[in-house]
Amino acid sequence: MIQPHTFLRSAPTLRFPGTVDCNSPAHWVGDQLYVFNSAGHPFRCSGSDLFNLGDAEKVSLSNEVQAGRWIEATWPAEDGALYAWYHKEPWGLCPGTGLTAPEIGAFRSVDNGVHCEDLGVVMEAPPNTLKCTAQNGYFAGGHGDFSVMLDRDGKWLCFFYGNYAGDVAVQGVAVARMAWADRDDPVGKVWKWHEGDWSQPALGGEVTPTFPTFIAWEQANCDSFWGPSLHWNSRLQCYVMLLNRAKGEGWKQEGVYVTFSTDLSDPTSWTIPEKIHEGGAWYPQVIGLGDDIRGSDKLAGEVARFFMQGVSDWEIVLTQEEEK
Domains contained in the chain, CATH given: 2-322 (2.115.10.20)
The confidence score (pLDDT) of residue 321 equals 74
Which amino acid appears at position 253 of this protein? Answer: Q
Q: Which residues contact 91 (CB under 8 A, 6 or more apart)?
A: 66, 67, 100
User: Which helix (H) or strand (E) element contains residue 114?
Assistant: none
Question: Cβ(36)–Cβ(84) under 8 Å?
Answer: yes
Q: Which residues of the chain have pLDDT under 50?
A: 1, 323-324
Residue 3 has what pLDDT? 75
Q: Which of 267, 251, 250 is nearest to 259 (CA)?
A: 267
Count of CB atoms situated within 10 Å of the CB of 94 = 17
Considering only CA atoms, which of 55, 58, 37 is closest in space to residue 114? Answer: 58
pLDDT number for residue 290: 84
At 291, phi and psi to the nearest 5? -75, -20
Those residues with Cβ within 8 angstroms of residue 15's Cβ, 6 or more apart along the chain or in another chain: 310, 311, 312
At position 189, the amino acid (one-letter code) is K
37, 23 contact by CB (below 8 A): no
Question: How high is the pLDDT of residue 266?
Answer: 98
